[in-house]
Amino acid sequence: MNGKPKAGPWKRKLTARLLCDRYNVCSRTIDRWVQSGLLPKPMTVNRRRYWDEMEVEQRDQERMAAANSAA
């Protein structure tokens, strides 16, 4: 074996801290975006929130497409 992880059905999960860094906002803003539907609802594991990276990417693309069509 070459030591590399195999590609599989696992999806990368993003923590609230990673989302804060990604958008350069505080965690309260992430909470507000979830409430308003700008971000998908997170899954909770041991009282920690995780977002599926693919879902977050899809929401970003939808918002960008909407902004481009409105301009």
pLDDT of residue 39: 95
> Would residue 23 count as lying in a domain?
yes
H/E element holding 15?
strand 13-15
Q: By residue range, what is the domain housing residue 17?
A: 13-70
Largest CA distance in the chain: 51
Tally of residues, the chain:
71
6 occurs within a structural domain: no
Do 15 and 7 touch, CB atoms closer than 8 A?
no
Question: Which of 51, 1, 21, 70 lies closest to 38, judged by CA?
Answer: 51
Domain count, the chain: 1
Tell if the pTM clears 0.85, that is, is over it.
no
Going by pLDDT thresholds of 50, 70 and 90, the confidence category of residue 11 is confident
AA identity, residue 52: D
* Backbone dihedral angles phi then psi of residue 15, each to the nearest 5 degrees: -85, 170
